[in-house]
Amino acid sequence: MDLAWEDWQANHARAANLLKRAADGGADLALLPEMFATGFSMDGAKIAQPPGGPTERWLQAMARGLGLHVIAGLAETGVPGGLPVNNALLVTPDGDVSRYTKLHPFSMAKEDEHYAAGSKVVTWEVAGARVTPQICYDLRFPEPFRLAAGETDAFVVIANWPERRRAHWQTLLRARAIENLCYVLGVNRVGEDGGGNAHAGDSAAISPWGETLVSASGVETVLLVDVYPAQVKDARAKLPALADRRPDRYRR
């Protein structure tokens, strides 16, 4: 998705078309990028919406109307008097909403000065699959992925990852799939943000064996892929690397 800078109404209109295309393609779950409603802006005071705000209500209406689960990124207000948070929302066709807060604010962009860090990894069940969300910079840290791996069929990474580091994005998506023997679904924006940063997209679905199942770059589009929890179980039975971990020894 190409994001209009700090313009949630324009982004709702853009996302509506993409979500309809996903639903028409038979999707159970649709993914939108990090901070899809505004772009990756550090002006949290301007763009952060309260829980239950206009974008959450819009997502609920879209999920109900299309019969979709939706995972979407959104800047939201945090605890009273505290910094806003960079969240991933899971919205169900029944209108239920769950949240994950980005564990690792991107310090190079001073995100840590404008948004509070999350405190826990979460896993959701969506249409029979166990799904664990991560947000952009979280991809560089294998620890939360490994923590959730045993209870996860697919990691979802929503992002505003810049084009100049696209090789890192592509490689780390595959690495997280290979090392955890599960699907990794990466959804990144395209276009240029308000700071002049270009984004190539490179959205992709990676199999438990590290194979790229679908991918796209440079254009706004919809990718469709099937996720089979049984294939995760099968991969882990054939290569029981997770069972051979020795966490008691992973200390200095």
What is the mean pLDDT of each successive set of 10 residues along the chain, which is 252 residues long? 98 98 98 98 97 98 98 97 97 98 97 98 98 98 98 98 98 98 98 97 98 98 98 98 94 84
Contact (Cβ atoms closer than 8 angstroms) between residue 219 and residue 191: no
**Which residue has 């799939």 as its token pair?**
177
Indicate which CATH number applies to the domain containing 200. 3.60.110.10
Is residue 249 in a domain?
no
- State the pLDDT at residue 246: 95
- State the pLDDT at residue 151: 97
- Which one of the listed residues 6, 34, 56, 111 is annotated catalytic? 34
- Which one of the listed residues 56, 111, 136, 182 is annotated catalytic? 136
Contact (Cβ atoms closer than 8 angstroms) between residue 105 and residue 204: no
Q: Is 102 a catalytic residue?
A: yes
Contact (Cβ atoms closer than 8 angstroms) between residue 158 and residue 178: no
Is residue 136 in a domain?
yes
- State the pLDDT at residue 252: 82
- State the pLDDT at residue 12: 98
Chain Cα centroid distance, residue 220? 17
- Which one of the listed residues 56, 102, 111, 182 is annotated catalytic? 102
Q: Which residues contact 222 (CB under 8 A, 6 or more apart)?
A: 18, 21, 22, 25
Is residue 3 in a domain?
no
Q: How many domains does the chain have?
A: 1
Q: Give residue 35's domain range.
A: 8-244
* Global confidence as pTM: 0.97
- State the pLDDT at residue 21: 98
Q: Is 20 a catalytic residue?
A: no
Is residue 252 in a domain?
no
- State the pLDDT at residue 46: 97
Q: Is 182 a catalytic residue?
A: no
Is residue 60 in a domain?
yes
